[in-house]
Chains A and B, each alone.
Chain A
Amino acid sequence: MKNSLVILFLSFLSLNLIAQGYSVGDKAADFKLLNVDGNYVQLSDYEDAKGFIVIFTCNHCPYSIAYEDRINDLNRMFAHEGYPVIAINPNDSVVQPQDSYSKMIVRAREKSFGFPYLLDATQEVFREYGATRTPHVYLLNREEESLVVRYIGAIDNNYEDAAKATEKYVESAINRLKAGEKPEPDFTKAIGCTIKVRKS
């Protein structure tokens, strides 16, 4: 009896762990984070946006670096169509000094980021969204007055070589949203770097 109670408790616990963060169909919360240009950015600043390509990414992670140009391309392709990229660095700079705010400024300049590159200084936003790795994409779509999560996952299916990617998940997801359809697939996985959580 005691054992089964413990098991029940543990399974609730693990269910809660899995349930953390957004699933496709959930409403996404706004946030207010510091951009590399010194200003705070929030999603509600973008009155005309039809949605957002929110990407948790960072400076140090080779998988993030491999996607930097593709993230710039996504913004170039879709910002003027109403789906700008909002990049967020969720990492703690004590654990990973390469991901400090000052180094974000340097990296954004080096790579001519055409999108906001925000610091999740309190690490609350990545937890709310449920991001576990960098890069990790959440595609939000404005539906009535809410921002609804419509795709979670990878940018495409080849981290190593953009030219060899046969599935451009984010691009095709936005194209489907624009056509009034739901993305398919709406959830993918990818290898990435763990998010560097502040040590208490």
Chain B
Amino acid sequence: MKPFTFVPVKLKFVIILLMIFTVNGLHAQVRVYGFDKLKPLLNQQNNTTYVINFWATWCAPCVKELPDFEKINAQFSTQKFRMILVSLDFKRSLETRLIPFVREKNLKAEVIMLHEPDANSWIDKVDPKWTGAIPATLIYNKDFRDFLEGSYTYDELYNIIINNLKQ
């Protein structure tokens, strides 16, 4: 006898539903990191080119440039490339704002919430030039590092990446 046939049809339906929700849920998953956990991702010594964008759902210029970042992420997805969107939203708005936003905009790039309220302790470790205003973006690989406080145009972003991408 096949064991699965014992499971009532109704329950099977529930299991299938649960599986669908789990898969959908993964797309809107946002991990919450302290700076210690984020820091290694800012200093990888390998052939991957990293784009680390600091943003928040309430930051208008950040939200405005997100479609460009998403486009770039899709374009370079088959390359040695990794994009991380580091949200600086308040922790209390993780469930009420950030996750719904990620789901609604259908963001495909990896989203991490950085929860480290003592910003003075870590801003310089991202880049000493950073005064703390967002958006801010770090683009780097083992041979190259570029940091900008402010917004990139799509072309700037594309050119920096294409000129520094490693095979």
Contacts and interface: CB of A to CB of B under 8 A. Distances in A.
Most chain A beta carbons < 10 A, residue from B90, B119, B149: B119
Contact of A133 (B56, B60, B132): B132
B90 A189 contact: no
B91 A132 contact: no
Contact of B90 (A61, A154, A160): A160
A164 B117 contact: yes
A194 B119 contact: no
Interface in B87-142: 88, 90-92, 117-121, 123-124, 129-135
Contacts of B92: 160
B154 interface: no
A168 to B, nearest CB: 12
A123 interface: no
B interface bracket (residues with beta carbon within 8 Å of A):
20 to 34
Contacts of B61: 194
A190 B119 contact: yes
A157 interface: yes
B59 interface: yes
A18 B131 CA distance: 11
Contacts of A154: 119-120
A interface bracket (residues with beta carbon within 8 Å of B):
20 to 34
A7 interface: no
B58 interface: yes
A72 interface: no
Given A154-B119, A158-B118, A161-B117, A133 B90 contact: no
A160 B88 CA distance: 11
Given A191-B123, A193-B59, A194-B61, A157 B118 contact: yes
A96 interface: yes
Contacts of B133: 132-133, 191-195
A189 B149 contact: no
A193 B163 CA distance: 30
Contact of A189 (B58, B88, B119, B134): B119
B117 A189 contact: no
A153 interface: yes
A113 interface: no
Contacts of A190: 119-120, 123, 132
A194 B135 contact: yes
Contacts of B121: 157
A200 B47 CA distance: 41
B117 A160 contact: yes
A188 B129 CA distance: 13
Interface in B50-90: 56, 58-61, 88, 90
Contacts of A191: 88, 119, 123, 132-134
Nearest to B150: A194
Given A132-B149, A157-B118, A194-B150, A189 B59 contact: no
Interface of A: 18, 61-62, 66, 96, 132-133, 153-154, 157-161, 164, 166-167, 188-195
Q: Ordered nearest first, which 9 A-B pairs have the shortest CB separation?
A: A133-B133, A132-B131, A188-B120, A189-B123, A194-B133, A158-B117, A157-B118, A160-B117, A189-B132
21 contacts: A132-B131, A132-B133, A133-B131, A157-B119, A158-B118, A159-B119, A164-B117, A166-B118, A189-B123, A189-B131, A189-B132, A190-B123, A192-B133, A192-B134, A193-B59, A193-B134, A194-B61, A194-B133, A194-B134, A194-B149, A194-B150
